[in-house]
Each structure stands twice: as C-alpha cells, then as structure tokens.
C-alpha cells in the first residue's frame, strides 16, 4: 500500500468514527461485562444512554457522563444504536420485544446490537421482528471476560448484515480489539458457542491433567511450565493454569454462565444433528458443581471439582 493510500484509509476510518460518535448509543445491562463496556464507550466520546434492572448501578455511568433512562423503550427512543448485554435468551427477548421493550421505542433506521451470549434462533427472531419496524439488528457476542471488558480488548464475533457491521465497527472498536464479521443473522452466536466449547473443554482437560500430576506427587507448577513450552501450550493453560495453582477461583466468568453457554451448544448441536459428546461431559461436571453450591466460582474452578473427587485439598 502506498503512503497516500494508507493516509486516505486512515482518514476514512477517522471519518467513520466521527460519524458514529454523532450517534447516541443506548446500553442496556450493566453487569460484570456491560458496565465496563458502557464506561469505555463514554470514554471514547460517545453519547451514551444507559438502563439497568438495578437502577443504582447506573450512578457510576451517570457520573462518568452517561444519561440514565427508566426503561428499554426509553433507551430506544433516545438512541440511534442500542446495545444489550444480558444473561440469556429470555432476558434479551423480553428487553428487545416485550412490553416496554426496545421494539416499542426503536426508530426507523436504528440499529440494535445484542452482545449477550444467547441462542442463534433468538437472535434471528429479534432481527426479523425489528426489521419489520424498519430497524436492523446484529448479534455480536464477546469473549475475553471481565478483564477484556475493562481493558476494551474483547474479541467480538458479529452476525447480521455487513452494512450494519460497517456502521457499528467504530462502536465495536471502543470496546474490543479482535472484531470479526462472521456472516448473516445468528452467525455471531454460533461462533460464540464454538468458542465456549473450546474454552470449557480446554479448562476441563487442564483440570484433569494438573489433578493427575498432583495426585501422582509431581510438582504441578513444573508440569504447567513444561506444558507451556510444548504443543499443549495455550492462553488458557497460561492464565487459568496459574489460577488453578493459586487456588484463586474468584469469578471472572462464572460456572453458572458457562453452563448456560454449553446448554446453548447442546441445543444447537441437537438442532444441527451434530453429536457433542465431550461438551455433554463438561456440562455434567458444571451441573454437579452448581448442585454443590459452586456455581458462582470462576470456570477455572472445574479444577476444584476434580481435586475434591480425587481426595486432594
């Protein structure tokens, strides 16, 4: 690329960001992920309207420069782009399509972006119903956990129209780094499901491996160090392997939420006719942990389950 071409491209990107910053962003759902994401949008210079089921959570956003709204409908009435970050499909459907929801206030030409991890079928339903109102929708689930949300380094997987993706890209760039357009409606959610399968099964494998090493009387720290230098190395072994060594299962991403994602994976697998045997095993382990009262642990806490089953403190 010639210097003049690069300069032109940079100018185009700046113009797109400037245009996006003129649009008001509505943000619904200020939980462990949503709150820092909304804060990053404010810091990036966007005009942001927020709403949350627990109103007091909005105070920090208001102090940072956001405006509070009393309902999803009110958010939609005041926004050009509406983002949701909610626990599961029923909550997204209620907020987007229910009484007092986004659909009652959304403007023609507005864009709805769901960044939750939900069923691909729900994403497609929301997109279809909002399209009938003259708006569009993207499904844009994220990976990277609380750390990624706070540092604006999330990986974002996007489904929907490419035109709407291009419109939303400056918004995504304010909260994430690895931003990939996957395909049509629901494609982002399918990608997130695939991500959660890989993450869940990798944590399970690491938990098994390190528990076996410890039960065998081998230095677990040195086992992890050796594995990080070989073909078994991964970011999960690096970060969560250290958490397992430290016994630090303070939640970054809770077992409860990961189990929900594996439920979506198993449901989608059944619909597609794809057997997900190993995913089912990981889901059963998480079910057992939830039954034991460990559902609020970080998903690296799967190692705690293996240790307890093996008679290891």
Q: Tell me how crowded residue 223 is: count the other CB atoms within 10 A of its CB.
A: 18
Is residue 250 among the annotated active site residues? Answer: no
Residues in contact with 202: Cβ distance below 8 Å, sequence separation at least 6, in sequence order: 234, 236, 237
Of 104, 150, 153, which Cα lies nearest the Cα of 129? 104
Angle between helices 302-309 and 187-215 (to 10 degrees): 30
Q: Return the closest-CA partner of residue 189 out of 137, 264, 259.
A: 264
DSSP secondary-structure letter at 56? G
Please list the alpha-helical segments (H only) found in the chain.
3-22, 34-43, 58-64, 72-78, 89-97, 102-105, 120-131, 145-151, 162-173, 187-215, 220-228, 235-246, 255-272, 277-291, 302-309
Q: Which residues does 191 contact at the CB level (< 8 Å), separation at least 6?
A: 141, 157, 159, 180, 182
Residue 60 CA to residue 47 CA, distance in Å, equals 15
Which is the catalytic residue, given 35, 125, 169, 192? Answer: 192
Residues marked active site are found at: 192
């Amino acid at each position: 690329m010639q210097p003049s071409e690069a300069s032109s491209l940079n100018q185009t990107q700046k113009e797109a960001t400037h245009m996006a910053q003129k649009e008001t962003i509505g943000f619904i759902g200020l939980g462990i992920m949503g709150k820092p994401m909304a804060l990053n949008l404010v810091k990036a210079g966007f005009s942001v309207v927020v709403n949350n089921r627990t109103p007091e959570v909005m105070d920090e956003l208001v102090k940072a420069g956001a405006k509070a709204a009393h309902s999803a409908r009110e958010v939609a009435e005041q926004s050009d782009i509406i983002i949701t970050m909610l626990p599961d499909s029923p909550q997204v459907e209620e907020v987007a399509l229910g009484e007092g929801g986004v659909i009652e206030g959304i403007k023609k030409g507005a864009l709805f972006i769901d960044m939750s991890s939900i069923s691909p079928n729900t994403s497609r339903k929301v997109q279809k119903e909002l399209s009938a109102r003259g708006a569009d929708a993207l499904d844009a689930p994220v990976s990277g956990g609380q750390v990624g949300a706070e540092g604006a380094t999330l990986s974002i997987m996007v489904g929907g129209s490419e035109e709407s993706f291009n419109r939303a890209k400056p918004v995504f760039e304010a909260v994430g780094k690895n931003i990939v357009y996957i395909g049509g409606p629901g494609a982002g959610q399918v990608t997130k499901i695939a991500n959660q399968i890989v993450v869940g099964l990798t944590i399970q494998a690491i938990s098994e491996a390190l528990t076996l090493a410890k039960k065998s009387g081998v230095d677990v720290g040195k086992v992890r160090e050796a594995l990080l230098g070989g073909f078994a190395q991964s970011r999960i072994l690096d970060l969560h392997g250290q958490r397992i060594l430290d016994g630090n299962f303070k939640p970054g991403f809770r077992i409860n939420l990961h189990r929900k994602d594996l439920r979506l994976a198993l449901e989608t697998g059944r619909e597609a006719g794809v057997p997900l045997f190993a995913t089912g095993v990981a889901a059963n382990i998480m079910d057992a942990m939830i039954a034991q009262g460990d559902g609020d642990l970080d998903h690296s806490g799967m190692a705690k389950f293996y240790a307890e089953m093996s008679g290891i403190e």
